[in-house]
Amino acid sequence: MIEVLSSTALATVQDLGRSGALRWGVGTSGAMDPMALAAGNLMLGNDEAAAAIELQVFPFEVRFTASGAFALTGADTDASLDGRPLLPWWRHEAHAGQVLRLNVPRRATAWSACRAYLCLPGGVDVPVVLGSRSTQMRGAFGGHEGRTLRPGDRLAAGRSEAPCGGSRAGFGLVPPAMAIPLLADGLPAVRVLPAAEIAAYEEASRAAFWTRPWKITPQSDRYGYRLAGEPLRAASPMEMRSHGIVPGVIQVPPGGQPIVQMRDAQPSGGYPKVGTIIEADLWRLGQAPIGSSLRFVETTWAEAVAALDANRAWLDEARRLVGLWLAGAPARAAHSAANTGTATTAPQRARAPTRQRPTQRTTA
């Protein structure tokens, strides 16, 4: 359905990840922002876990080889279709031959994000490997030929049972970063469960870990985020055997600057652990731009579970709103054709949300 035109690095096919393979030494991979991927799929009537294209270096261009719908979520990339501006977090329609361009993400918006997702009806159709279509770059498998996308690559969309929207007006959602924000002293924050070795660090270091900002350094990628801040000092030297780790684990190498394991992290490591970012907040860190700062907020197991429930409630409400919009698609198409002779309407940017729920953004 699309042909890649750009030589942009690090564009990959990802779904919600390769669960259940850690016991074989295979990492999870998957979208750095699973909320954005799931929401884009919902807007197209796909399964939440359908594969999409994750983008983190811009600009990026693709040509549609067939007409159909698509959705853009994640970062606001000032996208355009044949030069016509497109809204972020929106379902759009394209005709065969049209070119979609995604530019460097905007920073002067209500939310800052660094990764965008291009979702297609039925999901990106690539082979399933170990239960997932996600690209595992370290192992060179999954996704499209186990690698990043290159100019000339052609990707097909899966089979979709959802009805066509019938109008270029489309449908959109307010991003979860706006609907369910999380800040600490004005900075973006993520909630952290204290881990096994945190008590082995000096009291002043433990206090700084929770109260000082941490900057995301350029030495950060899908494998891990290296942070910069006041170094964490152990009360005494520590040596540990390698042990199992998962995305979200915060390790501290001898230099004292934390490393957060991300989606492509190895399944084992030997550095001491001071905390684990809760699963419900990993998408927030996955969208934090290089050079930005964030805060860690101490949380409990019960609060971590409640945060997952809040994410699930947001997605469930998104599913409900999309279902209402899709149910009215045939009527809207007939009404538009009868009154204007065409099924196209220019979308208008919606107002910011006033409730912590997925706000429907549509135009008639």
Tokens 């992290």 — which residue? 265
How do strand 90-94 and strand 243-244 relate by DSSP bridges? Answer: unpaired
pLDDT tens digits for 22-52? 888 899 999 999 999 999 999 999 999 999 9
Quote the percentage of the chain above a pLDDT of 90.
78
Which pLDDT band, with edges at 50, 70 and 90, does 111 fall under? confident
pLDDT at 307: 98
CATH architecture of 183-303: Beta Barrel (2.40)
Which pLDDT band, with edges at 50, 70 and 90, does 314 fall under? very high
The yes-or-no verdict on residue 336 having pLDDT over 80 is: no
The yes-or-no verdict on residue 362 having pLDDT over 50 is: no
Six token digits for residue 167: 């109008």
d(CA 166, CA 142): 34
Angle between helices 34-43 and 301-327 (to 10 degrees): 20
The single-letter DSSP state of residue 328 is T
Phi/psi region, residue 123 (left: phi>0; alpha: psi -120 to 50; beta: rest), is: left
How do strand 273-277 and strand 187-194 relate by DSSP bridges? Answer: antiparallel
pLDDT tens digits for 49-69? 999 999 999 999 999 999 999
Which pLDDT band, with edges at 50, 70 and 90, does 344 fall under? very low
Q: 311 or 337: which carries more pLDDT confidence?
A: 311
Half-sphere exposure (CA, 13 Å, Cβ side) for 200?
17
Across the chain, mean pLDDT equals 89
The yes-or-no verdict on residue 291 having pLDDT over 70 is: yes
Q: How far is CA 253 from CA 181, 237, 260, 295, in A?
A: 31, 11, 11, 20
Strand (E) or helix (H) holding 260:
strand 259-261
pLDDT tens digits for 155-191? 999 877 666 655 556 889 999 999 999 999 999 999 9
Tokens 């399964």 — which residue? 47
How do strand 249-251 and strand 273-277 relate by DSSP bridges? Answer: antiparallel
The yes-or-no verdict on residue 144 having pLDDT over 90 is: yes
Model's pTM, two decimal places?
0.90
pLDDT tens digits for 198-253? 999 999 999 999 999 999 999 999 999 999 999 999 999 888 899 899 999 999 99
Strand (E) or helix (H) holding 243:
strand 243-244
d(CA 216, CA 200): 24
Which pLDDT band, with edges at 50, 70 and 90, does 328 fall under? confident
Domain ranges of the chain: 2-179+328-362, 183-303
d(CA 28, CA 236): 33
Strand (E) or helix (H) holding 311:
helix 301-327
Six token digits for residue 354: 């006033």
Q: Which residues lie closer than 8 Å to 332 by C-beta, 6 or more apart? A: 165, 166, 167, 169, 364
d(CA 326, CA 179): 22
d(CA 249, CA 137): 20
pLDDT at 106: 86
Six token digits for residue 262: 């991300």
pLDDT at 109: 62
Q: Which residues lie closer than 8 Å to 238 by C-beta, 6 or more apart? A: 197, 200, 272
Q: What is the largest CA-CA distance in the chain?
A: 77
